[in-house]
Amino acid sequence: MTDPIHTLVTDRAAEMPDTTAILDCDGREVTWAAHRDAIEAAAGLLRARGLRAGDRLAIVAENCHATAVLVFAASHLGAVSVPVNARMTGAELGRILDHATPRLVAFTTGISAEAAAHAGTFGAETLTTDFGDIALAALPVPAGGDDLPDGVAVILYTTGTTGAPKGVMLSHDNLRFAGNASANMRDMAPGDRIYGVLPLTHVFGLASMLMAASTAGAAIQFEARFHPDRLYEALMGGVTVFPAVPQMHALLMAWTRDRGIERLEGSRLRYVSSGAAPLDPAWKRKAEAFYGLALQNGYGMTESTAGSTGTRNAVGLDDVSVGSALPGTEIALDTSVGSEGDREVGEILTRGPHVMLGYYRNPEETARTVDADGWLRTGDLGRIDAEGRLHVVGRCKELIIRGGFNVYPPEVEAALNDHPEVIQSAVIGRGLPGGDEEVLAFVQCVAPETFDTAALRDFVAGRLVAYKRPTRIVAVAQLPAAPTGKLLKNRLTEVFADRLAEMERE
């Protein structure tokens, strides 16, 4: 194993002690030396309450300096952090804690009302520290040995899992590799400031934001929750690197358009990216015109420590792929997955130092997901073009078969998103009697009550062959999403059941 992740901070503190490392949500600026000192102080607090090497520390949190400090403090003690989003329900949190069996639970009460509510449920001890208000609760840990492999730094529970929780074990090596790869892809260096709104409780924020900044010596400007006005203020106030998900870009552009701002001008922003969903050329051109920068893309998942591929494109290039494999990693396709008519499409596989150690306490699922040769089965469908660039076309389980033809939801979503009044969309299949499927489209727009779905049908008719066109279009004000901005497609028919029933009665 290479050095543990907390040494990233101690190294930066030795090199540039008085340089800003953190701009916290409350406006406080924290130097690298102060950041290191806070981590050491937090490690002392946790040690005094019984946390030891190999123990789990659950961190119920939203983005702030305290969250980062607690992750690194666990590393300092040889413990394993389990970051959990504070906006989870009590039942969701309980299932994770039952599976992870942490010795301590920390709550970022100073920044999150939800974390404070959870802390109250646990009767947690409240503490005021130099890195923010937190609360700590000790839990009974079952007797007996543990089955943690060597080198585990963090366990992340994946969004949208059903049944028994799946905890992804990421090593110190995984996180250091991912941070270095992200920093290199963005040419990050001291003097950069990265906008920190992607949740640290998810892999995108933890690896591609916190670890990348800690590797490069760049500052992070933390934001607990996404608000387009605060993002705009940050972009005009010195942010240079903005990794995001498509919903953030769409909402920012809608917010600025309402105020007569057609283009971001006068900022220091030099790098902007969009992950977690495929791009389409028209939307990409619109975003690049707004930012005046190339919109970079990439591909990854929790099990691959965020990054597997990435782009380094110039402005205006009509490349909507997720790029080539990151240096030191491999990608391949299993073309046995999918229909006979699409042999160039297959399940995406990846291998390299970014692949997880496995699922915590779930060797059977680990063996199904990572084979003996180290290839991770992603569950995503893709194709690789002649230049070696990966194009993600959908999820294996989300592939829609309509009239014997394959319909890939991202292609339909791209056509819908081209419409100027659509902020974003989500497309799923629904089974019909006889085994066929229909295409359901849920579109988020500014004014769903007056949105003309018939006009949208005409709009996509010129962009999609008939079998790919949505059977039903539901206009909504908001789509269900995880804190990362990732759309929760598995909840669409449940959330909008009344709307669908009403449409079927018409």
Give the strand pairing for 132-138 and 104-107. Answer: antiparallel
3-state secondary structure 418-439: CCCCEEEEEEEEEECCCCCEEE
In the numeric block, which tokens belong to residue 126?
Answer: 């409240």
The residue-averaged pLDDT of 6-20 equals 98
Three-state DSSP state, 168: strand
> For residue 409, is pLDDT > 80?
yes
Q: Tell me the chain's radius of gyration from C-alpha atoms.
A: 23
Least confident of 89-103, 278-292, 399-413: 399-413
The reported pLDDT for the residue numbered 319 is: 83
The amino acid sitting at 327 is P
pLDDT at position 248 is: 85
pLDDT of residue 473: 93
pLDDT of residue 474: 93
pLDDT of residue 353: 97
Q: Regarding predicted confidence, which is higher, 165 or 82?
A: 82
Longest Cα separation, the chain: 69
**CB-neighbour burial class of residue 200 (10 A; exposed 0-12, middle 13-18, buried 19+):** buried
Cα gap 449→423, rounded to integer Å: 15
Instruction: Express as a percent the part of the chain with pLDDT over 90.
Output: 66
Contact assessment for residue 163 and residue 134, using Cβ atoms and an 8 Å cutoff? no
Say what the pLDDT of residue 13 is: 98
Six-digit token string for 341: 């008519």
pLDDT digits (tens, 9 = 90+) for 464-473: 888 889 999 9
Strands 56-61 and 104-107: parallel
Angle, vertex CA 312, rays to CA 311 and CA 317, nearest 5: 90
Tokens, residue 268? 């220091």
How far is Cα of residue 454 from the mean position of the Cα atoms in its chain? 34
> 288, 295 in Cβ contact below 8 A?
yes
What is the structure's pLDDT at 162?
A: 44
Measure the CA–CA gap between 326 and 217, rounded to whole angstroms: 21
- Tell me the one-letter amino acid at 364: E
Average pLDDT rounded to a whole number, residues 360-372: 94
- Average pLDDT along the chain: 90
What integer is the mean pLDDT of 184-191?
96
How many whole angstroms from its chain centre is CA 435?
34
Q: 422 to each of 116, 245, 296, 414, 494, how far by Cα in Å?
A: 36, 16, 22, 11, 22
pTM across the whole model? 0.85
CA distance 209 to 219: 10
Q: Which residue has the higher pLDDT, 454 or 467?
A: 454
Q: Are strands 219-222 and 20-23 parallel, antiparallel or unpaired?
A: parallel
* Amino acid at the residue 334: D
Amino acid type, 158:
T
The Cα 168–Cα 375 span in angstroms is 16
What integer pLDDT is reported at residue 456 of this predicted model?
92
Q: Residue 261 in contact with residue 291, Cβ under 8 Å?
A: no
Report the alpha-carbon distance of residue 78 to residue 74 in Å, rounded. Answer: 6
Q: Domains of the chain, with CATH numbers?
A: 6-172 (3.40.50.980), 226-396 (3.40.50.12780), 399-505 (3.30.300.30)
Separation of alpha carbons 302 and 290, rounded Å: 30
Strand 167-171 to strand 152-157: parallel, antiparallel, or no bridges (unpaired)? antiparallel
* 210 within 8 A of 220, measured Cβ to Cβ: yes
Residue for token pair 């908001």: 478
Q: Which residue has the higher pLDDT, 413 or 14?
A: 14
Token pair of 144 as six digits: 């007996």
pLDDT band at 435 (very low <50, low <70, confident <90, very high): low
Mean pLDDT of all residues in 401-412: 76
Q: How many CB atoms lie within 10 A of CB 430?
A: 14
Given the DSSP bridges, would you call strands 295-299 and 271-274 parallel, antiparallel or unpaired?
Answer: parallel
CA distance 197 to 231: 9
φ/ψ region of 18 (left if φ > 0, alpha if ψ in -120 to 50, else beta) reads: alpha
- Write a three-state SS string for 73-89: HHHHHCCEEEEEECCCC
pLDDT of residue 357 exceeding 50, the answer is yes
pLDDT at 281: 77
- Which span out of 88-102, 165-179, 335-349 was modeled with the highest average pLDDT? 165-179
Q: Which pair of tokens denotes residue 49?
A: 């309450």
Q: What are phi and psi of 158, to 5 degrees?
A: -75, 145
Q: Is the pLDDT of residue 222 over 60?
A: yes
Report residue 13: phi and psi, to 5°.
Answer: -65, -35
CA distances from 238 to 173, 250, 266, 327 (A): 31, 21, 10, 30
Which residue in 331, 334, 313, 337 sits closest to 388, CA to CA? Answer: 331
Note the pLDDT of residue 343: 60
Residue 92 has pLDDT above 90, yes or no: no
pLDDT mean over 354-367: 95
Residue 328 has pLDDT above 50, yes or no: yes
More confident residue, 125 or 445: 125
What is the pLDDT, as a whole number, of residue 161?
Answer: 37
For the segment 266-288, what is each residue's pLDDT rounded down to a tens digit? 999 999 998 766 677 777 888 99
pLDDT tens for each residue of 112-153: 999 999 999 999 999 999 999 999 999 988 765 577 999 999
In the 8-state DSSP scheme, what is residue 268? -
Q: What is the mean pLDDT of residues 432-456?
A: 86
Tokens representing 122 are: 């646990």
Residue 437 has φ and ψ, to the nearest 5°, of -130, 150
Given a contact cutoff of 8 angstroms between Cβ atoms, the answer to whether 2 and 172 are in contact is: yes
pLDDT (0 to 100) of residue 463: 82
Residue 356's identity, in one-letter code, is M
